[in-house]
Amino acid sequence: MRGPIPLIAGAAILASLPAHAQAVSDPRCPYSFETRVARPTIVVAQARVTCAVERDTGLAGRVIAEARQALGRAVGGAEAEARGKAVEARTERRFTLDVERVHLTDRVASLLSTATEREGDARPSVTPRSLTWDLDRGLYVTLGELFREPRPGGPAMTALRDAVRGALRERAPALADAIKAEPQSFRAWTLTPGADAARASGITFHYGTSERAPEGATAFVPAEVLAPHLTAARRELFGVERR
């Protein structure tokens, strides 16, 4: 598990943006920035973190820092690819990262962001990203930390595989068949709010656009399915007993 990570104020990060990055709204709320790069391919990168993220979690600064890194890599890759193109072949390539959804219990916050890449008029590529944070301890919460035996092919990963496959079977059968009993199949996940604000009702897994799921997909796994595999410390988070 990673140790405590100091949070950085969102305003301080915005103040440190390079000259070509321009704030596109009030820097306090929502936190936003836009970067434009004029090359043979015109690259536009944008990031936005809504007010709810800061109000409910205080994590806006950290999320913006990670958004800048992700968009920086995307812009760098686009520039490198564009160097081999003729100057006349100017297309627009757009990268967007929106952090909007916050799933909260009294102790843990799950943030879901959406990274979208579009070139010209082509169909956009959408990739979900997630961050789950223990508000009391100031630590990231990994999926593996929730389970007693998180190893690939173990009982927890096998239970997740079977539940997610079942949830996806009708809407995205090709994606369902590709789900394996290993952490790589469950990269983007968020806690799903329950009726009680102190507890989650389960976990929702998020999948981006792909040949197997052109529109993307989500799969909900209820707490009752998770219960036999959760650690004692995390069963309280879902309000379930080990069976």
In this predicted model, which residue has the larger pLDDT, 71 or 142?
142
Query: What pLDDT digit, counting tens, does each position of 120-142 carry?
Result: 778 889 999 888 888 888 888 99
For 211-240, what is the mean pLDDT? 93
| Statement: residue 147 has pLDDT above 60 | yes
| Statement: residue 243 has pLDDT above 70 | no
pLDDT given at position 45: 76
For 204-230, what is the mean pLDDT? 95
pLDDT given at position 106: 79
pLDDT given at position 16: 36
pTM of the model: 0.77
For 12-19, what is the mean pLDDT? 34
| Statement: residue 200 has pLDDT above 50 | yes
Tell me which long-range contacts 143-151 makes (C-beta under 8 A, separation of at least 24). Answer: 143/183, 143/186, 143/189, 144/183, 145/1, 145/231, 145/234, 146/226, 146/230, 146/231, 146/234, 146/237, 147/229, 147/230, 147/231, 147/234, 148/229, 148/230, 148/231, 149/229, 150/183
| Statement: residue 192 has pLDDT above 70 | yes
